[in-house]
Structure 1
Amino acid sequence: MSDHAKEKDKIEGLEDPPPRVLSNDHPTQTLAENVSSSVSDGSGEPTKEIHYGGKRELTDDECYDKLGFCFPGWKKWMILSVIFVVQMSMNFNTGVYANAIPGLTEEFGISEQAARVGQAAFLVAYAFGCELWAPWSEELGRWPIMQLSLFLVNIWQIPCAVAPNYATIVVCRILGGLSSAGGSVTLGMTADMWEAEDQGFAVAFVVLSSVGGSTVGPFFGGFIGEYLDWHWVFWIQLIFGVVTQVMHFFMVPETRATILIDREAKRRRKSGEADVYGPSEVSPGLDAKEVLRIWRRPFEMFIREPIVLFLSLLSGFSDALIFVFTASFPLVFQQWDFSVLAVGMTFGAILLGYIIAYAIFLPDVWRQMTVRHAKGGGARLPERRLLLLLFICPLEPIGLLGFAWTTMGPAYTPWIAPLIFACLIAMANYGIYMATIDYMVAAYGPYSASATGGNGFARDFLAGIATMYSTPMYQNIGGRFHLQWASTLLGCAGVLVMIPIYVFYWKGPEIRARSKFAQTLEADRQRHAERRASQAFGSRRPSHISADEKPFGS
């Protein structure tokens, strides 16, 4: 082809409308949602790209100071504190239901196993709800999606509280689960406000709310079960949800980068700067095909990305253990004649384990942030974020085996012995969720909502299944030592599911090197790192290390 023909093709290409590229398209077609649409003129600086109709798209680098990354620290943590409450509220709904089971069996004449369907249905629906809401928060913004989610969840509590039959409760619990946006959106907001090398404290805080919410439910549910009837299980969920939604409405602004860029483009046009438009303004609207692509995105990542798949399965197994405990604690502690209220208080051991693990992670997070600020974002491979987990993860099978053989009753051990091991399991559960989420958010950056959606899917789906098999397993397996053999079985399974942690720590760079998705996002991050670093941290420049370096070292 002649030079003249090549030049003609370039000109004609600028006149054609650009296709709308979604994150689930092939990685070579621009996967990162915040990838600049600029092109280089060879000088290293981006040049204006003309879109259909002569519109120029405003890029994130051109208005970086308007994005969530540049919010003042107090504003970021105010937003994150409200998100902490939001996450606690949604996960509270999953755990507190167990305290309604005795009342439901008496009210509607159903078995306890049938009454647990309402909890299982909510968790399984919650798993799909997180997947369905997450990509919409990336397309339409975090704030409206979270408000709509909270509103719908609150609405479905009312028919549950006044249900004339059990079928109404099951249906509304399913709808409530599907309406829950969950952790995939809240964790996505951390990626909106912190760069990958700075997000550690924020992720640790949000993870604490996620795991803690599931345990706060049965903890306070003990008071409900002791002093109130089953209707109040749903009324209290509604009260908590309404207060949470009001806090979110008034205290949390939009954080989504593409939405903020759109707003900045409109502001600039009003101030007299012509020919500048946001990313949503230069792209065509969603059609039915693109809607399906958006919904497909987190499921595709879950299946096709080994990092998302295996770490999500590990995290899901760990979270399911908490719901196993929700069912097994009454069976275990009735040996010590614990009341409903006292059984609820035993979940304080799990809450204590979460807080201890949170405190353990903070110094490591601080150290790694210090290293990255001093030497650049590439000074540590993402796999370094799994290092602490190598030592905490074994606490899960150790805790399960210890819990198993200290639950033989007051003739053998004091009641506090199994709670000590439950605390160890909680520490492992927090560590698994924290480290795997931190790792995936670092690897997938602006699409962390969809990436971590796979993690949330596995956690909620496996937890929903656990609510159905937990009590039968603890009652029927192993004969005389049925309580002990059930936990022993889970402990053996815990050894198997933690193996991928060690594989990813040592072989993670090679695995990521074969993932076009992760590599495309990393390439874009490196392309913009120098410019962003100069704005946020003065003259700091990112360093680079090869993909085959091992992530050891402090």
Structure 2
Amino acid sequence: MNHNNNEDLEKQLPDYDTTTSTSPTILSDSGVVNQELSWKQDDPENPHNWSKKYRWLFTLVVSSLVISSAFGSSIVSGDRTGVMNEFHVSSTVSALQVSLMVCGFGVGPILWSPLSETVGRKPVYIFALGIYIIFNIPCALAKNIGTLLVCRFLAGFFASVSLTLAGGTISDLFPTHERGAAIAYFAAAPYSGPVIGPIVGGWVSVGTHSWRWIYWVNMIFAFVMWVVICFLPETYSPVLLQRRQGNDSLIENLKKNFDIQMILIRPFKLLITEPALLLMSLYVSIIYALLYGFFGSYPIIFGDIFGMNSGFVGLMFIGVIIGVIFALLLAPYWEKRYKNSQQTPEERLPAMMFCAPLIPISLFIFGWTSHAHWVGPAIAGIPFGLGMVMVYYAANNYIIDCSTTYAASALAAKTVVRSGGGAAFPLFIGPMYSNLGTQWASTVLAFISLVILPIPFAFHKWGPSIRARTAAKEAAEEQKFEKF
């Protein structure tokens, strides 16, 4: 894999020249377009030159969009029995409300990223999030379980636009040397939303005694975010330049280079040919799956064992939120450490190596204190939240740094694998904890996280040689890419 030591973690996204009028060659997010673009120095229409305060406000908004979508996937776990009782289905079928929406998260990115490069970020946000809002209505009014589950998958498909485009939007706003802090804080959003969901959903269920109101509340949150994004400007530079120059050929060229077959195939091909991508995606997938597994295990431990209602069960996720906050406080340290290093991809991994052991530690605490006092498993969420975000942050950066040319396709592949894990775990966590008991079920999960623990250490030691062996293959792919 090719690597430029001077490039930062956002290599997968287009970077526009803000210091000269020279026309650099730009690689689109989807990896399908080579287009000559340029901004004049200090051009006020260049998003990089917008005020720092406004760009950070924009970052807050798109991060909130991600939280909103991820929140929607887990809020239904705040009432695990309502759907079971009304439609007379098992807990596993009820858990499909979470799993199918997360499946939609895995499918949507394949479409939304290249589409945003054809028409711009804003129209795609407005269209997809608008449809997502609408699909909450049949969920809330569903008369049978089939309608509910189909609409949940479609809701996830359209809600995934936030997870897909938010990183690109932030890249549109910040030049490479300024993006580190923005991306570091944004990295927590995909994991904060799922944790907040059960807290809100639990109290909505307690207050209204209806699982349907959970969907109405989710729709209101999504609608508020949709209104906010409607008032924000476009950030994608090719579209901005086309509008200013009145030159339709730019967008026409983007459309001509929109090769859907290549977009669909490349992420999966990279998974097969790139060991770093495959193993890091597997690692992130397992951590993501463990988080979604908590939506099944928390009600068992805090609800069934300690007798808490849905509202208080949701509050137990505050421990995970505290861990996420600690991760946000640590991220600038690791970012500074990386910038002071040789800036090889492997220099991204010490953060992961340092924090990854917290995952199995937290699971052992979670399981083996589950019958003593509720404080034990509640506190276990703190090291889990810290380890989870730092693992994601480091693994994401490592994938990007290793995959300079096809980083967006690599990230799409990672998203598909990650969503698969998040969708699968809620389906068997409940039966697993019921059959094995809380201690041994948690121990099994802890050992799974121990098995994958050597991955970052191995790549830290042998990563350069692995990348050297695959460099020739990527060079051949680049030559093939230039033909499109």
TM-score range, shorter chain: 0.7 to 0.9
Counterparts of 1:383 and 1:84, CA distance in 2: 27
Q: Aligned pair 1:59/2:28, yes or no? A: no
Q: Aligned pair 1:451/2:410, yes or no? A: yes
Shift of 1:381: 1.5
Code of the residue aligned with 2:55 in structure 1: it is K
User: How do 1:492-503 residues align onto structure 2 when only pairs under 5 Å count?
Assistant: 492-503=447-458
Contact (CA 8 Å) 2:78, 2:199: kept in 1 or not?
A: no
* Structure 1 partner of 2:224: 243
Counterparts of 2:269 and 2:117, CA distance in 1: 16
Q: Aligned pair 1:429/2:388, yes or no? A: yes
The structure having more radius of gyration, on CA atoms, is 1
Q: Any gaps of 5 or more consecutive residues in structure 2?
A: 1-10, 17-21, 26-33, 479-484
1:316 to 285, 297, 300: 285
RMSD: 3.0
1:285 to 256, 278, 281: 256
Q: Aligned pair 1:391/2:354, yes or no? A: yes
TM-score, reference length from structure 1: 0.74
User: How do 1:498-517 residues align onto structure 2 when only pairs under 5 Å count?
Assistant: 498-513=453-468, 514-515=470-471
C-alpha spacing 1:34/1:222, structure 2 compared with 1 (3 Å):
closer
Counterparts of 1:81 and 1:291, CA distance in 2: 32
* Structure 1 partner of 2:28: none
Moved more, 223-232 or 127-136: 127-136
Counterparts of 2:79 and 2:270, CA distance in 1: 36
Shift of 1:394: 0.8
Shift of 1:422: 2.1
Counterparts of 2:50 and 2:472, CA distance in 1: 31
2:300 to 331, 341, 344: 331
Q: Aligned pair 1:82/2:61, yes or no? A: yes
* Structure 2 partner of 1:340: 310
Code of the residue aligned with 2:230 in structure 1: it is F
Q: Give aligned-pair identity as a percent.
A: 27
Shift of 1:461: 1.4
Contact (CA 8 Å) 2:106, 2:419: kept in 1 or not?
A: yes
Shift of 1:432: 1.1
Give per-residue Cα distances to partners, 1:447-481, cap 9 Å, x unaligned.
6543322222222211110010100110112xxxx
Shift of 1:519: 7.1
Moved more, 218-227 or 256-265: 256-265
C-alpha spacing 1:171/1:135, structure 2 compared with 1 (3 Å):
same
Contact (CA 8 Å) 1:135, 1:297: kept in 2 or not?
A: no
Counterparts of 2:203 and 2:454, CA distance in 1: 39
C-alpha spacing 1:495/1:358, structure 2 compared with 1 (3 Å):
same
Q: Give the secondary-structure state (helix, strand or coil) at the position aligned to 1:431.
A: helix
* Structure 2 partner of 1:488: 443
* Structure 1 partner of 2:188: 208
* Structure 2 partner of 1:402: 365
Shift of 1:490: 0.8
Q: Give the secondary-structure state (helix, strand or coil) at the position aligned to 1:89.
A: helix
Give per-residue Cα distances to partners, 1:281-330, cap 9 Å, x unaligned.
4566357xx22223334333344333332211111100111111111111
User: How do 1:521-532 residues align onto structure 2 when only pairs under 5 Å count?
Assistant: none
Contact (CA 8 Å) 1:392, 1:428: kept in 2 or not?
A: yes
Code of the residue aligned with 1:179 in structure 2: it is F
Contact (CA 8 Å) 2:433, 2:441: kept in 1 or not?
A: yes
Q: Aligned pair 1:170/2:149, yes or no? A: yes
* Structure 2 partner of 1:72: 51
Counterparts of 2:54 and 2:438, CA distance in 1: 48
1:118 to 81, 84, 97: 97
Q: Aligned pair 1:101/2:80, yes or no? A: yes
Counterparts of 1:364 and 1:67, CA distance in 2: 30
Code of the residue aligned with 2:457 in structure 1: it is Y
User: How do 1:178-257 residues align onto structure 2 when only pairs under 5 Å count?
Assistant: 178-180=157-159, 181-228=161-208, 229-251=210-232, 253-257=233-237
Shift of 1:362: 1.9
Contact (CA 8 Å) 2:345, 2:402: kept in 1 or not?
A: yes
Counterparts of 1:202 and 1:520, CA distance in 2: 34
Counterparts of 1:336 and 1:33, CA distance in 2: 48
Shift of 1:33: 8.2
Shift of 1:204: 1.7
Counterparts of 2:477 and 2:14, CA distance in 1: 9
Contact (CA 8 Å) 2:91, 2:430: kept in 1 or not?
A: no
Contact (CA 8 Å) 1:187, 1:448: kept in 2 or not?
A: no
TM-score, reference length from structure 2: 0.84
Q: Give the secondary-structure state (helix, strand or coil) at the position aligned to 2:89.
A: coil
Contact (CA 8 Å) 1:349, 1:419: kept in 2 or not?
A: yes
Give per-residue Cα distances to partners, 1:3-59, cap 9 Å, x unaligned.
xxxxxxxxxxxxxxxxxxxxxxxxxxxx988599xxxxxxxx8799xxxxxxxx983
Counterparts of 1:32 and 1:335, CA distance in 2: 46
Q: Give the secondary-structure state (helix, strand or coil) at the position aligned to 1:417.
A: helix
C-alpha spacing 1:148/1:191, structure 2 compared with 1 (3 Å):
same
